[in-house]
Structure 1
């Protein structure tokens, strides 16, 4: 696991690899439901959605729109 971790670290960088610990609860819910047939509630799915959206925003997979004042301030 350490070899794989450091290989990914070298490949994507420290900033992007720091989102991995945030994904552990979402994958825990997934594997618990698939392998152990544990019940999944709406709250659990909502929490997983928040985790995945935050991870996508952090890594740049999803970008937010900038408003006109923000763009004007950036050009100045």
Structure 2
């Protein structure tokens, strides 16, 4: 079940709760280490506005709202 929210004129969406978990973990990380497949992962292909540290708090807040909107 997909969920979406607006953030600074951009759409932040997640396919399911697991997808939200992955996004939250990546956005919330202070240090993002590259794995074996540089540039070929879902997280490496996220848009720059989503990976920018200056938006971290706002993105995490939006992820929280999306999580709260998921059916129980």
**Band the TM-score falls in, shorter-chain normalisation:** 0.3 to 0.5
Which structure dedicates a bigger proportion of its chain to strand?
A: 2
Specify which structure has the higher proportion of helix.
1
Instruction: Give the structure-2-normalised TM-score.
Output: 0.35
**Larger relative contact order (Cα-Cα within 8 Å, sequence gap ≥ 6):** 2
